[in-house]
Amino acid sequence: MIIADQGVRREHHIHEECGVFGVFSPHTDNLASMAYYGLYALQHRGQESAGIVVNDDGVFASYCDEGLVSEVFPSDTLRKLGSGNIVVGHVRYATTGSDRKRNAQPIVINHYKGQMALAHNGNLVNSYELRNKLEQCGSIFHTTTDSEVIAYIIVQERLHTPSIEEAVYSAMSKLDGAYSLVISSPSKLIAVRDPYGFRPLCMGQTKDGKIVIASESCALDAVGAGFIRDIDPGEIVTVSRSGIKSDVRGCGQKEKKLCAFEYIYFARPDSVLDGSSVSLARQKAGEFLAMEHPVEADLVVGIPDSGLDAALGYARASGIPYSIGFTKNKYIGRTFISPDQEQREAGVSIKLNPIVSIVKGKRVVLIDDSIVRGTTCRGIIQSLRNAGAKEIHMRVSAPPFVAPCYYGTDIDSTDDLIAAHHSIKEIADIIGVDSLGYLSVEHLMQITSETGNICTACFGGKYPTVIPVNGDKNLFEKKLKFRKEDKENER
């Protein structure tokens, strides 16, 4: 799957919205730098904003802004955050709430027990109803995210509970949907995973005793932390100077439904999610594709970066040679701008260009992880034609994407989903390939050790939760707009 740069209209693929990171240290340390490296490893999960909160025995220092981790946190900004014994970090791509600076996380809340910092990965399906109730009770919101809704509910529950972790447990009974959370109270680091386990969350430890919480294990590797285990769905892990405490009262209440796209695309290949290697899962998907959709061809080519592992698996199972067919320009950053359609189309070849000597005159099996809208995919295929490819047979390491996702991606309707409106044959004609084959849902469920515990709602499967009344990712911005218009009409 190819990520569109910021400033370029997103035409082709889904985006995950964020990564979370946290550290508890038994002694005061320079944790801001540690968070920087952890978030850098999670940058693929969100490129719109980044934030770090450092907790020095209950005194919070925070900084968040739009941009990549390296842009938001030059060395002088990191130094100003100071030292502490707890840190919480976040990288974001907007799903509920737009990509405005005010929606950057972690969210810091001041309440009668002190401060609380919260970083959230996922998306609630009942945030609209919860926010309405909170506003009717006098709550004033500063962002347009469902993450602030979670923070406010926890603070409300804290009024009636003896500890922050009990407040979190009480809040979980009101939350529905996807949420992997890293929370800092004045003295504790708390990790929370929703009862379905939609989004990953894991725990590790450094040699000097720091406990690290992260969305993916690759972030543990980046800071020198050894993997301990995954946080279980429904579990609350509390880390303090008293040690590590696990609350499993919320576990086993729902059937586990880890998002299929975590393995297909979102997670880094070097991560291990819930016991399964992401790279090996993608290779297995490619092997199944070769079984389901064999074809006579001269070489197998993956679209960088997410199609490479599946292409390797397809080649191994089919016996067709694997080859690197594209050169990727690594130096086009998020500020690359395509102001008009002609330049947008040119941007495809600037970022990804076929190697003529490899593909010319060849029958190519082209592997990618998904087709969402089909426009950029069509451009890549045309570039292969221009480079002299004799035939192009596209294979997709996921089933057709036909339904909205409400659990942490930016596809909130079927409007732009090509598979929701066209048959596979029609899609093949639209994107310009000689044949097209998708991975079946049945084989998708077998690419990891999590057999049967994967959410496939976006592929036409059953939604694990109720469908939200209002699933628009910008629903709170629209709500504010309507209120503004009402006030203007009253004048």
Taking the C-alpha atoms of 346, 350, 355 and 356 in order, what is their torsion angle to the nearest 10 degrees? 30
Residues 287 and 361 reside in one and the same domain: yes
| pLDDT computed for residue 482 by the predictor | 43
Taking the C-alpha atoms of 64, 217, 276 and 451 in order, what is their torsion angle to the nearest 10 degrees? -40
| pLDDT computed for residue 97 by the predictor | 53
Q: Please, which pLDDT band fits residue 96 given cuts at 50, 70 and 90?
A: low
- pLDDT at 94 > cutoff 70: no
Q: Please, which pLDDT band fits residue 469 given cuts at 50, 70 and 90?
A: confident
Residues 232 and 200 reside in one and the same domain: yes
DSSP 36-74: HHHHHHTGGG--SEEEEEEEETTEEEEEEEES-HHHH--
| pLDDT computed for residue 340 by the predictor | 46
Q: Please, which pLDDT band fits residue 339 given cuts at 50, 70 and 90?
A: very low
| Active site positions, annotated | 18
As a whole-number percent, the residues of the chain with pLDDT over 90 amount to 77
Residues 330 and 376 reside in one and the same domain: yes
Taking the C-alpha atoms of 438, 440, 441 and 444 in order, what is their torsion angle to the nearest 10 degrees? -90
- What percent of the chain is helix, strand and coil (3-state, nearest 5)? 35, 25, 45
Report pTM.
Answer: 0.90
In angstroms, the CA 285 to CA 440 distance is 10
Of 35-39, 173-177, 373-377, the one with minimum mean pLDDT is: 373-377
| pLDDT computed for residue 14 by the predictor | 60
As a whole-number percent, the residues of the chain with pLDDT over 70 amount to 87
Q: Please, which pLDDT band fits residue 262 given cuts at 50, 70 and 90?
A: very high
Residues 116 and 245 reside in one and the same domain: yes
State the CATH number of the domain containing residue 142. Answer: 3.60.20.10
| pLDDT computed for residue 477 by the predictor | 54
- pLDDT at 481 > cutoff 70: no
Residues 371 and 249 reside in one and the same domain: no
Q: Please, which pLDDT band fits residue 480 given cuts at 50, 70 and 90?
A: very low
| pLDDT computed for residue 98 by the predictor | 53
- pLDDT at 133 > cutoff 50: yes
Would you say residue 63 lies in a domain?
A: yes
What domain range includes position 300?
A: 276-459
| pLDDT computed for residue 483 by the predictor | 46
| pLDDT computed for residue 349 by the predictor | 63
Q: Which of the pair, 481 or 266, is modelled with greater confidence? A: 266
- pLDDT at 341 > cutoff 60: no
Would you say residue 9 lies in a domain?
A: no
Mean pLDDT of the 8-33 span: 78
- pLDDT at 165 > cutoff 70: yes
Q: Which of the pair, 449 or 130, is modelled with greater confidence? A: 130
Residues 229 and 336 reside in one and the same domain: no
- Count of structural domains, the chain: 2
Residues 231 and 303 reside in one and the same domain: no
Residues 140 and 110 reside in one and the same domain: yes
Would you say residue 472 lies in a domain?
A: no
Would you say residue 263 lies in a domain?
A: no
- Give the model confidence (pLDDT) of 43-72 as tens digits: 999 999 999 999 999 999 999 999 999 999
| pLDDT computed for residue 408 by the predictor | 87
- pLDDT at 487 > cutoff 50: no
Q: Please, which pLDDT band fits residue 475 given cuts at 50, 70 and 90?
A: low
Mean pLDDT of the 452-456 span: 89
State the CATH number of the domain containing residue 349. Answer: 3.40.50.2020
Mean pLDDT of the 24-39 span: 97
| pLDDT computed for residue 82 by the predictor | 97
Report yes or no: 279 and 270 within 8 Å, Cβ to Cβ. yes
Residues 379 and 342 reside in one and the same domain: yes
Would you say residue 480 lies in a domain?
A: no
Would you say residue 11 lies in a domain?
A: no
Residues 29 and 127 reside in one and the same domain: yes
Would you say residue 209 lies in a domain?
A: yes
| pLDDT computed for residue 4 by the predictor | 34
| pLDDT computed for residue 24 by the predictor | 98
Of 152-156, 389-393, 438-442, 448-452, the one with minimum mean pLDDT is: 448-452
DSSP bridge partners of 65: 50
- pLDDT at 5 > cutoff 70: no
How high does pLDDT run on average in the chain? 89
- Give the model confidence (pLDDT) of 179-238 as tens digits: 999 999 999 999 999 999 999 999 999 999 999 999 999 999 999 999 999 999 999 999
Q: Please, which pLDDT band fits residue 413 given cuts at 50, 70 and 90?
A: confident
Residues 81 and 221 reside in one and the same domain: yes
Interacting residues of 172 by C-beta distance below 8 A, sequence separation 6+: 192, 194, 195, 234, 236, 250
Would you say residue 265 lies in a domain?
A: no
| End-to-end alpha carbon distance in the chain | 50
Q: Which of the pair, 339 or 246, is modelled with greater confidence? A: 246
- pLDDT at 101 > cutoff 90: no
Q: Is the peptide bond before 106 cis (omega within 30 degrees of 0)?
A: yes
Residues 294 and 364 reside in one and the same domain: yes
DSSP 382-416: HHHHHTT-SEEEEEESS----S---SSBS--SSTT
